Amino acid sequence: MNNKGSEYVLTVVQHTYCSDCALIKNKIAEVYIMSGLPRGEESRYWRMQILSPPWDRDARRNEFPAGFHSVDVPALKLEINGRTAAITQAPGTISAILIKLKDMLREHRSNDQMAAEIKKLATTASHKSEEAVCPVV
C-alpha cells in the first residue's frame, strides 16, 4: 500500500539580476538550502521553486505564476496538491515567512505545520519592510 502524502510547492518570484532584491535573495537561498535537510518521508513531498521573471513588465505577464493580483516582484505562493493555500506580494511579509520557514525546516517541522504557519503569516502579517523594495516591481 503506497500512501502518498500531499504535495507542497512553495514558489518564490524575484529578480535574480536586481541588486535591490539582494536581501530577499539571501533569505530565499537559506530556505532553499534548509529544504534539502531530510525530514523523513515528508521531505519527498516538499518542493521549492524560484522564478525570475523578465525585467520588462509586459513580457513578465506571460510568465508570471497564476493567482497573483499583479506581476509585481517579489511574490510568494504556497500550493498544496495544486491548490493555492497562501499567497502574498508584500515584501515584509515574504521576508517574515522566509525567516520563519528557515527555522521550521531546521527544526524538522512537518509539512502541515509549516503550511499552517505560512498561511497564518500570509493572512495576518502586516510587516513593514525596512528593506529595499525592488523598484522594478
Q: Does the CA dihedral 84-122-16-108 come out positive or negative?
A: negative
Residue 49 lies in a domain: yes
Residue 103 lies in a domain: yes
pLDDT digits (tens, 9 = 90+) for 34-85: 998 888 898 999 999 999 988 888 899 888 999 999 998 899 999 999 999 9
Residue 57: predicted pLDDT: 86
In which domain, by residue range, is 41 found?
8-124
The count of structural domains within the chain is: 1
Q: CATH no. for residue 108?
A: 3.40.30.10
Instruction: Indicate the pLDDT class of residue 130, thresholds 50, 70 and 90.
Output: very low
| Contact between 123 and 86 (Cβ < 8 Å) | yes
Residue 83: predicted pLDDT: 97
Average pLDDT, the chain: 86
| Contact between 80 and 91 (Cβ < 8 Å) | no
Is residue 1 predicted with pLDDT exceeding 80?
A: no
